[in-house]
Amino acid sequence: MKNLTYLNILLFIFSCGSEAQKSVVDYAESITETELKTHLYSYASDEFMGREAGTEGEALAINFLKDYYESTGVSSGSTDGSYFQEMTVTDRSGNSIDSYNVLAYIEGSDKSNEVLVITSHLDHIGVEADGQINNGADDDGSGTVAMMEIAEAFIEAKEDGNGPRRSILFLHVSAEEKGLLGSKYYTDNPIYPLDNTVANLNIDMIGRVDSLHIEQPDYIYLIGSDILSEDLHDVSEKANQDYVGLTIDYRYNDPTTLVYETGRWRENRYYYRSDHYHFIKNNIPAIFYFNGTHKDYHAPTDTVEKINYALLEKRTRLVFHTAWEIVNREERLTLKEDSEIPSDD
Ligand SMILES: [Zn+2]
């Protein structure tokens, strides 16, 4: 008996020791293409009816996310513990819509009052008049499942005693497709003070390859990274160089760069076209992660079997490594002194 007890103690010490030695790479490796695929095959299935804000499809989507965070051990980020931020928003035709953002939260350790907000939009464009469902596997099922996996990696780290120093809000915004309404609502009614919000990483469409990169698909467009903070840009570049090695394409940092979309050439204006805009507008540095548009953009053919899951895994790990550095570094990201925030007016 004595020897056995001694062995148990040794095993206990050994297992504690090995946990403490786990590194950021180990947690990044918990983000896998298999799990991303499993989540997306549920989230972008016909059952969710295109996840249009204000419909039953949205109700299914928000409950799916809440159940996931509850079962993964990630806390609610809303004030009442429900994971939901209820809002009434007005769409482009002037209709009032009852809609919900979903918020999950991992509290930081010694710098917990500073918050990194990671966003993606949970909604999509619903069902066509002829009954075809817009599954939105890429837009933005890809960003949604990426956030689920990033949250899981951070909570695993926290359970091992390697939790983030700053807090992280996983903000799944709704009504993006109706005019970025969920992110506008959150930044107009923030649950965590915007003054203490250190950055926003916004993921909207990261599962596909556009026509410009068919030959070399290991790429991602980053938009906005150096507009308010050189620090943010440098952290992002280093995370990619040290851990991921994607080709980062910055061409759409200029909103006037032309893009061929829905049958014509137009200025891309991506800078204004997803949820990071409402953070940047509030002087919060942000990065928009994006694969560019494709022929299935906003069509019923944006489906799960067209997603490149190995690439989705790499891109998700890039966001994770960038987030890890932002929340664990000693200094808060510094803002440029003279940055001019581009206006959409
Ligand atoms: Zn989108």
- Three-state SS letters, 281-322: CCCCCEEEEECCCCCCCCCCCCCHHHCCHHHHHHHHHHHHHH
Cβ contact 276:203 at 8 Å? no
Greater model confidence, 341 or 211: 211
Q: How many Å lie between the centroid of ligand 1 and the Cα of residue 153? A: 24
Greater model confidence, 260 or 132: 132
Q: What's the mean pLDDT in 300-305? A: 98
Look at residue 337 and tell me if it is in a domain.
no
Integer angstrom CA distances of residue 11 from 16, 33, 110? 9, 32, 31
Q: How many Å lie between the centroid of ligand 1 and the Cα of residue 49? A: 16
* SS3 assignment, position 337: coil
**Which helix (H) or strand (E) element contains residue 168?**
strand 166-173
- pLDDT of 197 strictly over 90: yes
Residue type at 105 in one-letter notation: Y
Tokens for 339, please give them: 């940055």
d(CA 345, CA 342): 9
Look at residue 23 and tell me if it is in a domain.
no
**Is residue 15 very low, low, confident or very high in pLDDT (cuts 50, 70, 90)?**
low
Look at residue 255 and tell me if it is in a domain.
yes
**Which helix (H) or strand (E) element contains residue 24?**
helix 24-28
Look at residue 200 and tell me if it is in a domain.
yes
Residues 106-121: pLDDT tens digits?
Answer: 999 999 999 999 999 9
* pLDDT of amino acid 344: 63
> How many separate domains does the chain show?
1
Share of the chain above pLDDT 70, in %: 92
Cβ contact 251:221 at 8 Å? yes
Q: How many Å lie between the centroid of ligand 1 and the Cα of residue 120? A: 8
Cβ contact 132:49 at 8 Å? no
Residues 42-77: pLDDT tens digits?
Answer: 999 999 999 999 999 999 999 999 999 999 999 999
Look at residue 51 and tell me if it is in a domain.
yes
- List Cβ neighbours of 100 (8 Å cut-off, separation of 6 or more): 58, 62, 84, 85, 86, 87, 174
Q: How many Å lie between the centroid of ligand 1 and the Cα of residue 232? A: 23
- pLDDT of 193 strictly over 70: yes
Give me the domain span that covers residue 263.
Answer: 33-328
Cβ contact 115:168 at 8 Å? yes
Look at residue 212 and tell me if it is in a domain.
yes
Residues 246-279: pLDDT tens digits?
Answer: 999 999 988 888 988 778 898 888 888 899 999 9
* SS3 assignment, position 339: coil
* pLDDT of amino acid 287: 96
Look at residue 338 and tell me if it is in a domain.
no
- pLDDT of 16 strictly over 70: no
Q: What's the mean pLDDT in 90-104? A: 96
- pLDDT of 4 strictly over 80: no
- pLDDT of 6 strictly over 60: no
Q: How many Å lie between the centroid of ligand 1 and the Cα of residue 71? A: 26
Say how many residues make up the chain.
345
Q: How many Å lie between the centroid of ligand 1 and the Cα of residue 118? A: 15
Tokens for 304, please give them: 């799960």
**Is residue 341 very low, low, confident or very high in pLDDT (cuts 50, 70, 90)?**
low
Cβ contact 52:58 at 8 Å? yes
Number of Cβ within 10 Å of residue 25's Cβ equals: 11
Cβ contact 246:240 at 8 Å? yes
- pLDDT of 14 strictly over 90: no
What residues are paired with 311 via a beta bridge? none
Look at residue 344 and tell me if it is in a domain.
no
Residue type at 199 in one-letter notation: A
- pLDDT of 305 strictly over 70: yes
* pLDDT of amino acid 1: 45
Integer angstrom CA distances of residue 85 from 46, 125, 186, 318? 25, 20, 8, 28
Q: How many Å lie between the centroid of ligand 1 and the Cα of residue 1? A: 62
Q: What's the mean pLDDT in 196-222? A: 97
* pLDDT of amino acid 260: 84
Q: What's the mean pLDDT in 87-97? A: 95
Residues 223-234: pLDDT tens digits?
Answer: 999 889 999 999
Tokens for 36, please give them: 């991303």
What CATH number did the domain enclosing 153 receive? 3.40.630.10
d(CA 179, CA 200): 19
Q: What is the mean pLDDT of the chain?
A: 93
Q: How many Å lie between the centroid of ligand 1 and the Cα of residue 276? A: 11
Question: Cis bond leading into 140, ω under 30°?
Answer: yes
